């Protein structure tokens, strides 16, 4: 799982976000969301379009989940 997908997954688990509601509101497949964000046995990353829709649903800037470059390195 990519670091970005892992960060989104952690955020959703911490906040207790309902995947069924997210799937309905975003138009994304519940199984795609589940396999990317909750299923530890699958190594499925969020696709770009899925990631952007999830961020819009959450009201979070996509850059908040992006990798940060180390300063001074």
Q: Where are the domains of the chain?
A: 3-59
Helices marked H in the chain — which ranges? 3-15, 19-26, 30-37, 48-58
Contact between 34 and 19 under an 8 Å Cβ cutoff? The reply is: yes
User: Distance between CA 57 and CA 44 in Å, rounded?
Assistant: 20
The CATH number that domain 3-59 falls under is 1.10.260
pLDDT tens-digit readout, 45-58: 999 999 999 999 99
pLDDT at 70 (0 to 100): 46
Which stretches in the chain have pLDDT values below 70?
68-73
């Amino acid at each position: 799982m990519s670091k970005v997908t892992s960060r989104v997954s952690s955020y959703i688990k911490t906040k207790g976000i309902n995947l069924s509601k997210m799937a309905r509101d975003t138009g994304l497949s519940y199984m795609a969301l589940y396999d990317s964000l909750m299923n530890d046995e699958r190594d499925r990353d969020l696709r770009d379009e899925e990631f952007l829709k999830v961020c819009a649903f959450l009201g979070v800037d996509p850059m908040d989940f992006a990798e940060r470059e180390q300063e001074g390195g």
